[in-house]
Chain A
Amino acid sequence: MNDSGTGAAFNERSAAANLVTTGAIYCGVLALALQDPTNPFFTIGLLIGGVVVQVILLIVMNIYFAIVTTSEPNDERDAQIQHRSLRLSHLILTLGAVVAMLLLLAQQAAVQIAANHARSIPDEFLTSPLAIAHALLLTLVASEVVRSASVLLAYRRGV
């Protein structure tokens, strides 16, 4: 038996908290960032603020769950669920990295075509590094959402 963790009930609640906070904070950060999409300092500030808020929320919620949940050591089922969810999360992360790379290449192609034909760059935001940063952020969020959702589903519907 793996003695780390505090059991299935805690893992399930922690995954639900992670799912809700990740989704809510990302939506908030995205909505605010789109108000000034080409300002990197504003976006970086929002990202750092979002991460800090999420970390604080998750620490508080996990402490609460640890207090109200009967503590049980993690067993083979918990390990299998964690392993499966991490594998799914890794898949999303890989796909997102490939998409971000393709987006970067498309940006370079668009800038080059515009320069060759003496035209202005099509869209300032879409051809800026901030668009790549947003694509990578979305990838991180999506992989985390998929990981938490698959943990929840596995506990509720079976492995």
Chain B
Amino acid sequence: MAATSLRNRIRELRFAAGEMTQRELAERVGVSRQTIVAIEKAKYSPTLELAFKIADVFHTRVDNVFTPGPLEEYE
């Protein structure tokens, strides 16, 4: 299966938030670290509920974390 068509800025936002670890983010939104890894690598598209929780952790809007489009364009 290819990467999802949802780009994200989680890695960038984590570092901007005091180098927050993947595990810490996972604990704060109530998922496993592997799920955060999969989302960051665009191998999994989160549910709306999880997307909003992640955005909430970074005190930003969900469309500032996730945007539609292939991963290559973002990179």
How many residue pairs at the A-B interface have CB separations less than 8 Å?
49
Q: Does chain A have a CB within 8 A of B30?
A: yes
If A159-B1, A159-B44 touch, whether A75 touches B30 (CB-CB below 8 Å) is: yes
**Neighbour of A153 across the interface among B1, B32, B34, B38, CB < 8 A:** B1
CB contacts (< 8 Å) of A77 on chain B: these are: 31-32, 34-35, 38, 44
**CB of B44, distance to nearest CB on chain A (Å):** 5
Q: Is the CB of B31 within 8 A of A158?
A: no
> Are A158 and B32 in contact (CB-based, < 8 A)?
no
Instruction: A153 to B44: give the CA distance in the assembly, Å.
Output: 13
Given A1-B30, A72-B32, A76-B35, 19 more pairs with CB closer than 8 A: A1-B31, A7-B32, A7-B34, A73-B32, A75-B30, A76-B47, A76-B50, A77-B32, A77-B38, A78-B32, A154-B1, A158-B2, A158-B41, A158-B43, A158-B44, A159-B1, A159-B38, A159-B44, A159-B45
How far is it, in angstroms, between the C-alpha of A73 and the C-alpha of B3 when the chains are bound? 25
